[in-house]
Structure 1
Amino acid sequence: MFTPHVEVRATADGSSTLYVPALNEHYHSTHGALQEARHVYLAAGLEPALTEANQLVWVLEVGFGTGLNALLTLERSLSASQQIFYDTIEKFPLPWEVVSQMHPESYLSGPELQDYQHQLHAAAWNRPVTLTPNFVLLKCSGELQATPLSQDTYQVIYFDAFAPEKQPDMWTDEVFAQLYEAAAPGGVLVSYCAKGSFRRSLKAAGWLVEKVPGPPGKREMTRARKQE
C-alpha cells in the first residue's frame, strides 16, 4: 500500500499530528489535535447519538488517518452502556511505525489507552474485530466511492477527509449523496470543515445543515442531519 511521506508536528494542546509535505496539509488542527477530535467528532456527533440510542450506536468514519477519532470513541465506549460499531474507510493506511513516532505516551492518558491505540492499528483490515465488549472495529481499505455501504445504518458519520482544496474528489455532491443513503434516519454527519461549497453539497444531497461553534482556532464547524 502507498504511504505518503509524513513528518511529526506538535500541536498547541500538547498532542501531535502528522504533516504531509506533498500536500502542505496536516492530519489535524495545529491548534490542538486532541481538542479538535473531542469537540468536532465526540461532542458534536457521538454524544448526542449516545443520548438518543438505547443499545447500539453505529459510527462511520471517513478517513481513519492516525486513528485518533477511533481511539477517543473507544475510550468513550468504556463508560457507555451502548455498544459501538465503528466502521472506517481509509485509502492510504498509515503503518504503526509511523504513528508510533508521534510519541502518544506524551499526551494519551495512561498505558491502557496507549495499548488500545496499538490494537486499533494492529487490527486486521476488511473484517470486524472486537476490541472490547462495547467496541467493534471494521477497517475498510480503499476508496469511499468504491466501498459498498449499508443503507439507513449509521447514526453518526465522522467526515474527516483532507481539506477540499487538497482532496477535492472527496467533497463532491455524489459523495454526500452516498453518505446520506448510508446514514440512519435522524443520523448526523459532523466535520471540521465550514466551507460554503461543502454545505451546499450537503444540502443538495438532502442533509439538513447547521453551523455550530468550532474547536479552538476555528469559528465554525458543520453538523448535518438526515431527515427522519
Structure 2
Amino acid sequence: MADIKIITTEDGSHSLYHEGLKETYHSFHGALQESIHVFIEKGLRFWRTKNGLPKEVDIFEVGFGTGLNALLAAKFATENEVKINFTSVEPFPVPMDTINQLNYIDQIGKEELKETFKQLHTAKWDELVEINPFFSLKKFKGKLEDFTGEKQFDIIFFDAFAPNKQSELWTEEMMQKCYQLLRTDGVFTTYSAKGQLKRDLKKVGFEVETLAGPPGKKEMVRGIVN
C-alpha cells in the first residue's frame, strides 16, 4: 500500500495517512485517546455497565485498520475478565511491515500486549481465532455490505473513514444493516456526529445520543437498540 504512511498524532500515538483519500485512520488530535473514548468507554464499558456487567460480549467492528480498537478491547477483556468475541470487517488490510512500526504498545505502556497485537494481525482471515482465554477474533476480508446475519452482536464499533471520504458506508441502508446486526439493548458507537447520520440512525430505529467527543472533537454519536 504505497499510498499509506505513518503519522504521529497529537497524543504521541501513531496513525496512518491515506494519501489517495487524503484522510487519516484516526483523529490527528490523538489516535489512542480517540479509540479509548469513542469505542472502549462510550461503547464497550457503557454497554457492559448498562447491562449489569455480563461476562461475555459480542462486538462487531467496521474497519479493522491498524487493529488499535481490537487491541484495546483485548486489553479490556483481560483486565476485566470478560470474554469478548470480536468480529471485524476490512477490505484493505494494512501490510505487516507497516503494522510492525506502530507505537501503540509503547504508548499504552504494557509490554505484555506486544504478542497480542502481533496475533491480532497474523490471525488468519475468515477464521475464528482464540487470541487468549478472554478474547477471540474473526476477521472478514471484505466490505460491510457483503457481511450477512442478524442480531448477532451487542456492540458495533463503526470506524469507517469519514462520511465525506467513504460515503457508501454511511447511508441509511448501511445504518439499517447495523441495526439488524444488533441485539436488543445493543449499542452503535462512532466518532462522527454528522446531522445526516443522526437522522438516518433515528429513521431505522435507533435511540440516538449526541455525546462529548474525544479531546479535539466536539461531539460523537451513540445509538441504542430498544
For Structure 1 versus Structure 2, the TM-score category normalised by the shorter chain is: over 0.9
Instruction: Quote the residue 2:110 is aligned against.
Output: 110
1:1-228 matches, cutoff 5 A: 3=1, 5-51=3-49, 52=51, 53-149=53-149, 151-227=150-226
| Aligned equivalents of 2:151, 2:180: Cα separation in 1 | 6
Residues 192, 221 of structure 2: 8 Å contact kept: yes
| Aligned equivalents of 1:105, 1:189: Cα separation in 2 | 27
Residues 157, 190 of structure 1: 8 Å contact kept: yes
Partner-residue secondary structure (3-state), 1:74: helix
| Aligned equivalents of 2:141, 2:152: Cα separation in 1 | 19
| Aligned equivalents of 2:48, 2:105: Cα separation in 1 | 28
Aligned-partner residue type, residue 222 of structure 1: V
- Give me the TM-score of the superposition, normalised by structure 2: 0.95
Aligned-partner residue type, residue 34 of structure 1: L
Residues 61, 158 of structure 1: 8 Å contact kept: yes
Greater shift in the superposed pair: 111-120 or 164-173: 111-120
Query: Structure 1 residue 200: deviation in Å?
Result: 1.1
> Structure 1 residues 145 and 4 mapped into 2: Cα distance closer, same or farther (>3 Å)?
farther
C-alpha RMSD of the superposition: 1.2
Partner-residue secondary structure (3-state), 2:101: helix
Length, aligned pairs only = 224
| CA deviations over 1:148-202 (Å, ceiling 9, x no partner) | 13x2221110000000110011001110101101101010100000010111111
Partner-residue secondary structure (3-state), 2:89: strand
Query: Structure 1 residue 48: deviation in Å?
Result: 1.9
| Aligned equivalents of 1:103, 1:42: Cα separation in 2 | 19
| Aligned equivalents of 1:98, 1:219: Cα separation in 2 | 30
Residues 151, 180 of structure 2: 8 Å contact kept: yes
Identity %: 39
| CA deviations over 1:2-24 (Å, ceiling 9, x no partner) | x4621111111110000011111
> Structure 1 residues 105 and 60 mapped into 2: Cα distance closer, same or farther (>3 Å)?
closer
Residues 153, 186 of structure 2: 8 Å contact kept: yes
Residues 49, 57 of structure 1: 8 Å contact kept: no
Partner-residue secondary structure (3-state), 1:64: coil
4+ long deviations beyond 3 Å? 103-106
| Aligned equivalents of 1:135, 1:11: Cα separation in 2 | 28
| Aligned equivalents of 2:76, 2:57: Cα separation in 1 | 12
| Aligned equivalents of 2:105, 2:136: Cα separation in 1 | 24
> Structure 1 residues 112 and 81 mapped into 2: Cα distance closer, same or farther (>3 Å)?
closer
| Aligned equivalents of 1:195, 1:80: Cα separation in 2 | 33
| Aligned equivalents of 1:144, 1:4: Cα separation in 2 | 24
- Give me the TM-score of the superposition, normalised by structure 1: 0.95
